[in-house]
């Protein structure tokens, strides 16, 4: 639950940071101020959708964990978990259902990358990957390379028509969601370490747990997307290429989780302000 809170905050702070920066470049004093502000906000539509989808699903999973942790009392309206669980269900439906947001994430991303020579998507998977020294940043880079290789293939072979296959579009969105989530958490943890934040070690543990788990979801998501794109020999080749790509070394997540849990027990709450 704490890991989800940390990652969700990281995505929201990052998205809001992008919007703040973009809006600072515009002014109501300009004749085109209103339109400039709308354009600045629109620029980050994908990031906003990813924060909404990821955040609402993480909230629901966290509420579900709370019900479970309360046991039978979690199901009873006399205890708070039941109300939280019921109330938070709406977040996946309003403000654009998560299904429609997923279509928007994949569609907008592909539209913006399509046909742009030199875009990272064009080189994904073929470029020699220079791995960062930091193991968490390396995990993010490996996940990106793997996901973007298959998304680039979808783009190259099907163009925007890939969105007609909603299963494929959902895989693309889920891959992008995982990349944005893991990168946001890892970069934030790195910034906390660099600034000597008192909870930097806890943040790194939480980012590492998420990055390791997300990497596995990226791996299976890339394979499922591959299955939507190719068959026979072409699929065999693609899967073999994915298999040959570097993978991060697994770490004992139980050790990290125990440290995270102990920090929360010691503080009696999620401690990062």
Ligand X SMILES: Cc1cc2nc3c(=O)[nH]c(=O)nc-3n(C[C@H](O)[C@H](O)[C@H](O)COP(=O)(O)OP(=O)(O)OC[C@H]3O[C@@H](n4cnc5c(N)ncnc54)[C@H](O)[C@@H]3O)c2cc1C
- Tell me the residue nearest to ligand X as measured from the CB: 97
Q: Which is nearer to ligand X, 43 or 167 (CB)?
A: 167
Q: Which is nearer to ligand X, 69 or 100 (CB)?
A: 100
Contacts of 62 (CB under 8 A, 6+ apart): 1, 4, 5
Does residue 28 bind ligand X (CB under 6 A)? no
Query: Residue 13's CB: how many other CB atoms inside 10 A?
Result: 13
The answer to whether residues 186 and 141 touch, using CB atoms and an 8 Å cutoff, is no
Q: Which is nearer to ligand X, 93 or 261 (CB)?
A: 93
Size of the site for ligand X (CB under 6 A): 7
Q: Which is nearer to ligand X, 28 or 94 (CB)?
A: 94
**φ/ψ of residue 19, rounded to 5:** -65, -45
Residues 179-218 close enough to bind ligand X by CB under 6 A: none
Q: What angle do CA 55, 56, 62 make, to 5 degrees?
A: 85
Q: Which is nearer to ligand X, 87 or 236 (CB)?
A: 87
**DSSP string computed for 148-173:** HHHHHHHHHHHGGGGGGSHHHHHHHH
Give the position of tokens 């000597």.
196
Binding mask 81-120 for ligand X (x = CB under 6 A): ---------x--xx--x-xx--------------------
Closest C-alpha among 261, 228, 101, 210 to residue 161: 228
Closest contact distance (angstroms) between CB of 44 and ligand X is 21
Closest contact distance (angstroms) between CB of 5 and ligand X is 24
The answer to whether residues 107 and 160 touch, using CB atoms and an 8 Å cutoff, is yes
Residues 130-189 close enough to bind ligand X by CB under 6 A: 166
Closest contact distance (angstroms) between CB of 231 and ligand X is 25
Q: Which two tokens stand for residue 139?
A: 């995990």
Q: Which is nearer to ligand X, 169 or 214 (CB)?
A: 169
Which residues contact ligand X by CB under 6 A?
Answer: 90, 93-94, 97, 99-100, 166
């Amino acid at each position: 639950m704490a890991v989800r809170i940390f990652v969700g905050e990281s995505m929201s702070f990052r998205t809001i940071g992008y919007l703040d920066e973009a809006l600072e470049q515009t002014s109501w004093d300009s004749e085109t101020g209103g339109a400039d502000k709308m354009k600045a906000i629109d620029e980050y539509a994908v990031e906003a959708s990813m924060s909404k989808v990821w955040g609402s699903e993480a909230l629901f999973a966290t509420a579900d964990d709370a019900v479970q942790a309360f046991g039978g009392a979690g199901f009873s309206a006399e205890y708070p978990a039941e109300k939280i669980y019921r109330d938070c269900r709406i977040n996946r439906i309003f403000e654009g259902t998560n299904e429609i947001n997923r279509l928007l994430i994949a569609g907008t991303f592909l539209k913006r990358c399509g046909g742009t020579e030199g875009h990272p998507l064009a080189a994904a998977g073929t470029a020699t990957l220079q791995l960062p020294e930091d193991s968490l940043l390396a995990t993010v880079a490996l996940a990106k390379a793997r996901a973007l290789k298959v998304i680039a293939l979808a783009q190259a072979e099907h163009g925007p028509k890939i969105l007609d296959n909603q299963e494929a579009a959902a895989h693309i969105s889920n891959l992008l969601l995982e990349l944005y989530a893991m990168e946001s958490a890892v970069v934030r943890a790195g910034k906390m370490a660099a600034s000597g934040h008192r909870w930097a070690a806890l943040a790194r543990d939480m980012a590492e747990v998420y990055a390791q788990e997300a990497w596995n979801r990226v791996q299976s998501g890339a394979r499922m997307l591959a299955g939507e794109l190719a068959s026979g020999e072409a699929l065999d080749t693609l899967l073999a290429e994915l298999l040959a790509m570097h993978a991060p070394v697994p770490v004992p997540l139980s050790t990290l989780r125990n440290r995270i849990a102990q920090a929360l027990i010691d503080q009696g709450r999620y401690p990062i302000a």
